[in-house]
Amino acid sequence: TFFTETSNGKYVPRSLFVDLDPSPIDEIRTGGYRQLFHPELLISGKEDAANNYARGHYTIGKEMVDNVIDRVRRVADNCHSLQGFLIFHSFGGGTGSGFGALLLERLSTEYGKKSKLEFAVYPAPRVSTAVVEPYNAVLSTHSTIENSDCTFLVDNEAVYDICRRNLDIPRPGYEHLNRLIAQVVSSITSSLRFDGALNVDLNEFQTNLVPYPRIHYPLISYAPVISANKSSHESFKVQELTFQCFEPNNQMVVCDPRNGKYMAVALLYRGDVVPRDCNAAIAALKAKSSFNLVEWCPTGFKLGINYQKPMAVPAAAGDGGLASVDRSVSMLSNTTAIAEAWSRLDHKFDLMYSKRAFVHWYVGEGMEEGEFSEAREDLAALEKDYEEVAADSFEADEDDAEY
């Protein structure tokens, strides 16, 4: 489970919070949930990574990583059968990109066979928190691509839009974004925690969603996202919810799946759902002309059904809380359309790197300039991988037939 039970019946989450900057972790130490977390599992440094991948990965991160791995080991040793790790970080900042990559490298060395699923906040097309985001994201992707088994990308702009549009929150804050992302994470792990008709464990996600090791960046979407004051006027049939997940508006990365092909889709239903309805919804979906599956993966769908109803975080009236509903669905889809997110990022990287802007900050922290071009080449290769996967697999067979 995700909690350890202490001798006096208290439940403590098996989660570790790390930041090189002391202030975010101090907020947890003094916040409303301070009694919940084990104080030893809240680790903070003395100075932040200053939005610099090299500081997070080489200089400051290096000093902290042994301490962090030590705590990870302590938590892992208490687990009877450790299944894997969920890692939450951003690609844009210095700690999230640099230290996140360093930590993943160490986890791969120490726990090679365990599955590692990442939830990564990806630089959004128009919303930016730092000038050097493209550098950090490209460097981080390059160093984690070999070590992570599956990376669920979320970009803040897409989630802001969902909050504005569906929950009528004029100016969404991070807590609104987190609540929404938490619903998806909860759905992904619900079958580890509750009973259902079709349970899905961590390893099954990789097996069903990742056709090739490098192509492990599924899109996520969730339905129904609806505010409490609207929910009484809606009926949430399984088929409607399933179709909602495939709307570009409900996806948590800005990209248009109609421009690409789906390689694999996992649909995770929760609440009052029976397998027959799910199968009918999928059949209806496959019949739609806008739904493109790659030719080499005719089945394409993985189902999860869990009887536990979705829980919404209690929110004050008018604060844009999610409605509590009888059923919900999270969709994880590996689609070639996500390549457009990579090409946007690469383009921004190229604009800055062509002038070598800001590069001296990275080199000053002990990084070599060659790492930039190496990382950029790796991402160019990733874009190419997506192109090749999308190309029809029948063309090769036709060539053979001519001889």
CATH number for position 335? 3.30.1330.20
Q: Is residue 176 part of a domain?
A: no
Sequence-ordered list of residues with C-beta below 8 angstroms from that of 251, at least 6 positions apart, any chain:
158, 219, 220, 221, 257
Nearest partner of 120 among 81, 93, 83, judged by Cα: 93
The domain boundary residue, chosen from 130, 148, 166 = 148
What's the CA gap between 312 and 228, in Å, rounded?
A: 10
Mean pLDDT of successive 10-residue segments in the chain (403 residues)?
Answer: 85 92 90 89 90 92 93 91 91 92 94 90 84 93 92 91 89 88 87 79 84 92 85 81 91 88 92 92 89 86 89 76 87 92 93 94 91 95 91 53 44
Q: Quote the distance between the C-alpha of residue 251 and its chain's center.
A: 12
pTM over 0.95: no
Same-domain status, 132 and 3: yes
Same domain, 136 and 213: no
**Total domains, the chain:** 2
Q: Specify the 3-state DSSP secondary structure of 400.
A: helix
Tokens of 140: 């981080």
Q: Which residues contact 306 (CB under 8 A, 6 or more apart)?
A: 187, 190, 191, 194, 195, 196, 197, 199, 268, 269, 270, 271
Please give the structure tokens belonging to residue 339.
Answer: 């390549």
Cβ neighbours of residue 270 closer than 8 Å, sequence gap 6 or more: 187, 190, 306, 307, 308, 309, 310, 327, 328, 329, 330
- Are residue 269 and residue 387 in the same domain, yes or no? yes
Among 89, 113, 148, the domain boundary falls at 148
- Name 331's bridge partners: 221, 267
Q: Residue 214: exposed, middle, or buried by beta-carbon count in 10 A (0-12, 13-18, 19+)?
A: middle
254 and 118 within one domain: no
The pair of structure tokens assigned to 94 is 């210095």
Q: Is 188 a domain residue?
A: no
Look-up of token digits 């002038």: 355
Q: Please indicate, yes or no, if residue 86 is contained in any of the structural domains.
A: yes
Question: What was the pLDDT predicted at 87?
Answer: 93
Whether 284 is in a domain gets the answer yes
- Give yes or no for a contact between 120 and 345, defined as CB atoms under 8 angstroms apart: no
In a domain, 183, yes or no: no
Is 105 tagged catalytic? no
Contact 198/275 with Cβ under 8 angstroms?
A: yes
Upper half-sphere CA count for residue 161 (Cβ side, 13 Å): 18
In a domain, 363, yes or no: no
Q: Active site residue: 105, 157, 204, 371, which one?
A: 204
Question: What does the pLDDT read at residue 393?
Answer: 53
Say whether both 297 and 223 belong to one domain. yes
- Please tell me what DSSP assigns to residue 198: B
- In this predicted structure, what is the pLDDT of residue 297? 87
How far is 281 from 238, CA to CA, in rounded Å? 7
**pLDDT at residue 395 in the model:** 52
Q: Which residue range forms the structural domain that includes residue 143?
A: 1-148
Q: How far is CA 342 from the centre of its chain?
A: 15
- pLDDT for the residue 230: 77
Domain at 102, CATH number? 3.40.50.1440
